Amino acid sequence: MTSPTAAETPTFVSHLECSWTGKRYEAGRPHNLSEAGKPLLVRYDLERLKAAARKADLAARPFEGFWRYREFLPVQKAENRISLGEVVTPLVDLPTLGGEAGTLLVKDEGHLPTGSFKARGLALAVSMAKEFGLEHLAMPTNGNAGAALAAYARRAGQRATVFCPEDTPEINVREIAAQGARVWRVNGLINDCGKIVGEGKAAAGWFDVSTLKEPYRIEGKKTMGLELAEQLGWEVPDVIFYPTGGGTGLIGMWKAFDELEAMGWIGAKRPRMVAVQASGCAPIVRAWEAGEETAPLWENAHTVAAGIRVPVAVGDFLILRAVRESGGFAIALDDADIMAARAEVAEAEGLLLCPEGAATYAAWKQARADGRVQPGERAVLFNCATGLKYPLPDVTRSLDRHAPIDYATL
């Protein structure tokens, strides 16, 4: 299935650019990392884009999900826009916990295909792979990214091979396999799985779509920023709390805000970007606190929030730049606080977060307590996946329908 529009969109991509050196690379052909071993960023002719795109046009595209922003994206041919029925994910108010209405909002990405925000990046990576004629894609995953790759690659008629840590949640491993990918458990962490993908490229003939090792997952995640700005009336919130492993979404949103300002669609205000990690795997937090530009490998990484268990991030310097340029911060939470936050939001608001999403609420709560978020400031938390994919508390209460029931105790 392609996206609902049948028209071909002129590409406004001008070139690719090394995020470290600024060196220009030719668009229109496959790339992985730059010669410097750093992520490539897609650059657009924003003057041409500004002349071609209008806010009013988006009102006529209510059912196209993130493909409604196609002028801001690199896929040119409509038949290459692979879709599984994406939606604009809701902003859910938390008035009980946040106080004043509209002050604490959750961008609930669990409504996307395969149940997570990984659908955004992988839809773009797969679509561009189709545009380039690539037939076999591979990646490491902690679970949700692999599921998204499996689904979109199968939809596009491509092969997908996925490697995941051996303790990846069983539901994710089975989901990847059920959607047609070959999935392998590896006795290591996601960076160990990524090493296998990199080393196997020549022999296996696959194209590496690991986080930030190709240019287009950032463009997919960028749509979170475009969507958020539109939902808030072409304004931005005061602060964004983002669960940060590889950090593609945080980098992508920062890029989106830059592009929107250059086009005159938003003003100069930026949200403070907060990178949220777990205390058992917090390389970005450690680097931010130390004033470092890069984040070395975190040894013996562990956390219940598997999606942010990324011991070393290819785009570490891009995450840290966005956090610092925005006046934001990086924060780590203990697993106990993450799970307590998940229970608190579910019980108070009826919203079941994934552990990574719950970490953002725990971070917001701590930041409110220490004054880094002031009363009345609008905060957006990103819930990156449906909470239904993760273990839930046991329920042991039962009734014997044949015995007398004391209804007063129920």
Which pLDDT band holds residue 402 (cuts at 50, 70, 90)? very high
> Torsion over CA of 268, 271, 275 and 276, rounded to 10 degrees?
-170
Which pLDDT band holds residue 1 (cuts at 50, 70, 90)? low
Task: Give the tokens for residue 165.
Answer: 């840590």
> What does the pLDDT look like over 107-127, one tens digit per residue?
999 999 999 999 999 999 999
- 56 or 352, which is more confident: 352
pLDDT at position 63 is 87
pLDDT at position 60 is 86
Which pLDDT band holds residue 101 (cuts at 50, 70, 90)? confident
pLDDT at position 11 is 87
Q: Percent of the chain having pLDDT more than 90?
A: 93
Listed residue (243, 24, 41) closest to 144, CA to CA: 243
Residue 4 has pLDDT above 50, yes or no: no
> What does the pLDDT look like over 259-306, one tens digit per residue?
999 999 999 999 999 999 999 999 999 999 999 999 999 999 999 999
Task: Give the tokens for residue 408.
Answer: 């007063």
Mean pLDDT of the chain: 95
The letter for the amino acid at 108 is D
Q: What is the mean pLDDT of residues 96-117?
A: 95
pLDDT at position 10 is 77
What is the rounded distance in angstroms from the CA atom of residue 363 to the CA atom of residue 350?
Answer: 19
Residue 6 has pLDDT above 50, yes or no: no
For 32-36, 100-104, 299-303, which range has the lowest pLDDT when averaged over its residues? 100-104
In the chain, the domains with their CATH numbers are: 91-114+216-387 (3.40.50.1100)
Helices and strands (H, E) in the chain, number of each type: 13, 13
How many CB atoms neighbour CB 326 within 10 A? 18
pLDDT at position 318 is 98
> What does the pLDDT look like over 218-239, one tens digit per residue?
999 999 999 999 999 999 999 9
Query: Does this model's pTM top 0.85?
Result: yes
What is the rounded distance in angstroms from the CA atom of residue 353 to the CA atom of residue 355?
Answer: 6
- 6 or 7, which is more confident: 7
Q: Percent of the chain having pLDDT more than 70?
A: 98
pLDDT at position 182 is 97
Give the side-chain half-sphere CA count within 13 A for 262.
Answer: 15
Which pLDDT band holds residue 322 (cuts at 50, 70, 90)? very high
> What does the pLDDT look like over 59-95, one tens digit per residue?
888 889 999 999 999 999 999 999 999 999 999 999 9
List of residues 6+ apart from 121 with CB closer than 8 A: 145, 148, 216, 217, 218, 219, 220, 221, 248, 249, 252
List of residues 6+ apart from 107 with CB closer than 8 A: 89, 90, 91, 224, 227, 228, 380, 381, 382, 383
